[in-house]
A = this chain, B = another copy of it.
Amino acid sequence: MKSNKRILLVEDDPNFGRILKDYLTINNYEVSLAVNGIEGFEKFNRSDFDLCILDIMMPFKDGLTLAKEIREVNELIPLIFLTAKNLKDDVLKGYKIGADDYLTKPFDSEILLAKIKSILNRKSNVYNNEQDTFEFEFGDFNFNSKLRILTHKDDESYKLSPKENQLLKMLVLNFDDLLPRDIALNKIWRDSNYFTSRSMDVYIAKLRKYLDKDLTLKIINVHGEGFRLAKE
């Protein structure tokens, strides 16, 4: 029974890493072990994984920093953190980055296994994102979300900031349909509260300014729900 699922394990303690890797391998996962954050990031980029298990406390580059880098490249891959003790702060930071779970060392290996299964079986994971498209046409604009450039038909072209870019991309992907506030906040700001919400409003204002170049395009607010990019 080949499970086929690939796990990236980043753990600086070689003994513990070895044991954990073997244990997971026995349980039909294909495991790649990296001994620090730098190697971890390289491995991550070199191949496709289904899940990452990251030790937080590591020399050179800690697990949280590594996680941030991974998240920039891949928003969806599940992350599990290992914390040496119950370092609440690390745990909270981890969740903010988009952790799926954390485990406190020492932990029970069967429980880890159960978590992994649970995460990988989640129906939500089946959902594979629209990540590939990065070039869009709408109204009089051409929008390249990879280069973060919004170009107007005539000539003018704007460099978008990362947040402007992400927000515009989500609006465009939901063209003429509602982009719920919560969804955008949780995806872009990774949190949904009064302040992130106000921040989002500021970005909506900025985008509206760009889009003013095409008078038929509008970002319409649906009070209490979200926004909708629409034509005419």
What residues of chain A have their CB less than 8 Å away from a CB belonging to chain B? 1-3, 76, 88, 91-92, 95-96, 98-101, 108, 110-111, 114-115, 117-118, 121-127, 146-148, 161-162, 177-178, 180, 182-183, 186-187, 191-194, 197, 222-225, 228
Q: Choose from B2, B108, B127 the contact partner of A224 (Cβ within 8 Å).
A: B2
Q: Are A123 and B121 in contact (CB under 8 A)?
A: no
Which of the listed residues A76, A100, A118 has the most CB atoms from chain B within 10 Å of its own CB? A118
- Cβ contact within 8 Å between B194 and A1: yes
Copies in the complex: 2
Task: List 11 interface pairs A-B (beta carbons < 8 Å), by A numbering.
Answer: A88-B111, A100-B122, A121-B183, A122-B122, A124-B182, A124-B186, A125-B127, A125-B183, A127-B183, A147-B222, A162-B224
Task: Choose from B114, B118, B147, B193 the contact partner of A178 (Cβ within 8 Å).
Answer: B147
- Nearest residue (CB) in B for A162 is B224
Beta-carbon contact of B125 and A124 below 8 Å: yes
State whether B114 touches A91 (Cβ < 8 A): yes
| A225 in contact with B1 (CB, 8 Å) | no
**Inter-chain contacts of A222 with B (CB < 8 A):** 147-148
A1 to B193, CA, bound (A): 7
Residues of B within 8 A of A2 (CB): 224
The 7 lowest CB-CB distance pairs between A and B, nearest first, are A121-B186, A95-B114, A124-B126, A1-B194, A95-B118, A126-B127, A92-B114
- Residues of B near A161 (CB, < 8 A) are 223
* Docked pose: A194 CA to B27 CA in angstroms: 12
Q: Give the residues in chain B near A177, CB-CB below 8 Å.
A: 146-147
Contacts beyond the supplied A1-B194, A95-B115, A117-B192: 17 A-B pairs with Cβ under 8 Å: A1-B192, A1-B193, A3-B192, A88-B108, A88-B110, A91-B114, A92-B110, A92-B114, A95-B117, A98-B118, A117-B186, A147-B177, A147-B178, A147-B222, A147-B228, A162-B223, A162-B224
